[in-house]
Amino acid sequence: MSPMALVEKFMSAARTASVFYQGNCTFKCITEETPLSSCFDSLAPPKPLFIVTPTVAGSYPVILLHHGFYLSNYFYKELLQHIASHGFVAVAPQLGFVILISYVGYVYVPPSGPEEIQLGAKVINWLPKGLQSLLPENVVADFTKFALSGHSRGGKTAFATALGHAKSSLSLKISVLIGIDPVAGADQHCRTYPHILTYSPQSFNLSIPVAVIGTGLGPEPKNACMAQPCAPDGVNHKEFFYECKPPCAHFVVKDYGHMDMLDDDPRGVVGALSGCMCKNGKGPRELMRKAVGGIVVAFLKAYLNGDDRDLVAIVGDPDFSCKA
């Protein structure tokens, strides 16, 4: 089912449909760069952060989103705003290394797979001691409800972190894991390190709730000239879900592609290229963001807030719920 049909199907059920639209929480965006003196300042984040937080006084669960390969954390602004508007503090670190190139400006160079996992772990370990000082007054980050997520290679990084592949022990307990079209390499024989896929059912050593959101067009090449798809079969959402243990859920947005949950016009050269490398859906990206954002919100509400009514309603419809 397309995102438009998915959203329209729930228009008659106002409560459930609300997860696919912006929530009632007012929010603000915060940009926090890493200062050059960060190694001497324990409160400075180890990597640049993009944060979207509610501004209404209260205690809110935290979700950390790892960006995709070569992408910027800012490319997910609309998706993060959707999630935060439903009562969650959303944090997106920039895990690449920053370099300056003449005439291009600042460019983020992606680290290796193991480096990315370790950098992500450093951000997680920084959150309990540093995030609170960046939030609005009377807004409290509830770290007893912590969700880890990621898109594309960032999804694989999130899984690898939850599976214990970081060199550092985590200071936070992961309550929920969400992979948004996760990808583990170019194909089954050319995977990024560490190799976490085993190709055995329910082989992931995870005891937490897991949601995997895939795309129908991700396994398809952009065109005849670009034969390599962005989310190839054998290393994409299907295999990730195949290796998850219950409780887990699998959703596939059939008519959209690997980059369609990003903002409409991501800035910079990389932002422009992000719309050209993968096969895209024909509909507006806003609908894809609503579909992905609504599923994420419903899953978080179910397993962090104890309210599963939206998730049960979504999973109960076979048109857009993909079950093992």
Residue 50 maps to which CATH number? 3.40.50.1820
pLDDT reading at 10 higher than 60: no
- For residue 8, is it within any domain? no
Q: How would residue 94 be classed by pLDDT, with cut points 50, 70 and 90?
A: very high
Largest CA distance in the chain: 55
From the CA atom positions of the chain, what is the Rg in Å? 18
- Active-site hit among 67, 82, 181, 250: 181
Return d(Cα 109, Cα 93) in angstroms, integer.
14
Distance CA(267)–CA(197), nearest Å, equals 33
Q: How confident is the model at residue 11 (pLDDT cuts 50, 70, 90)?
A: very low
- β-partners of residue 64 are 91, 148
User: What is the average per-residue pLDDT within 93-98?
Assistant: 81
228 neighbors 243 (Cβ within 8 angstroms): no
pLDDT at 71 over 90: yes
Backbone angles phi, psi at 36, to 5 degrees: -60, -25
In 10 A of CB 104, how many CB atoms? 11
Quick one: what percent of the chain has pLDDT higher than 90?
Answer: 76
Residue type, 15: R
Catalytic residue among 67, 82, 86, 258: 258
If you average pLDDT over residues 281-287, what whole number do you get?
A: 94
In the numeric block, which tokens belong to residue 132?
Answer: 């609170």
Give the span between the Cα atoms of 57 and 80, in whole angstroms.
Answer: 19
- Indicate if 2 belongs to the active site: no
Residues paired with residue 178 on neighbouring β-strands, in sequence order: 149, 211
Residue for token pair 């290229």:
273
Q: What total of structural domains would you count in the chain?
A: 1
Tokens of 240: 């990730």
User: What mean pLDDT is predicted for residues 60-71?
Assistant: 96
Residue at 138 is within a domain:
yes
Query: pLDDT tens digits, residue range 240-270?
Result: 999 999 999 999 999 999 999 999 988 877 7
Q: Residue 318: what are its φ and ψ, rounded to 5°?
A: -70, -15
Q: Strands of 89-93's sheet, edge to edge?
A: 27-32, 49-54, 89-93, 58-66, 139-151, 176-180, 210-215, 248-253
Assigned domain for 183 exists: yes
From the centroid of its chain, how far is CA 171? 20
Instruction: Give catalytic status of residue 187 as yes or no.
Output: no
- Worst-scoring range by mean pLDDT, 29-33, 114-118, 172-176, 317-321? 317-321
Residue 6 forms part of a structural domain:
no
Q: What is the mean pLDDT of the chain?
A: 89
> Does residue 16 belong to any structural domain of this protein?
no
pLDDT in tens, 147-199: 999 999 999 999 999 999 999 999 999 999 999 999 999 999 999 999 999 99
Please report whether residue 278 resides in a domain: yes
C-alpha span between 75 and 207 (Å, rounded):
31
Instruction: Please report whether residue 5 resides in a domain.
Output: no
Q: Which residue has the higher pLDDT, 82 or 8?
A: 82
Distance CA 43, CA 41 (A): 5
User: Which of 221, 123, 218, 220 minimizes the C-alpha distance to 180?
Assistant: 218
In a domain, 59, yes or no: yes
pLDDT surpassing 90 at residue 4 = no
Residue 318 clears pLDDT 50, i.e. is over it: no
Give residue 224's Cα distance to chain centre. 29
pLDDT, average across residues 231-241: 98
Cβ(212)–Cβ(179) under 8 Å? Answer: yes
pLDDT for 5 equals 62
pLDDT attached to residue 9: 55
Owning domain of residue 214: 27-322
Instruction: Say whether 203 is catalytic.
Output: no
Q: Looking at 152, 175, 260, 274, which residue is catalytic?
A: 152
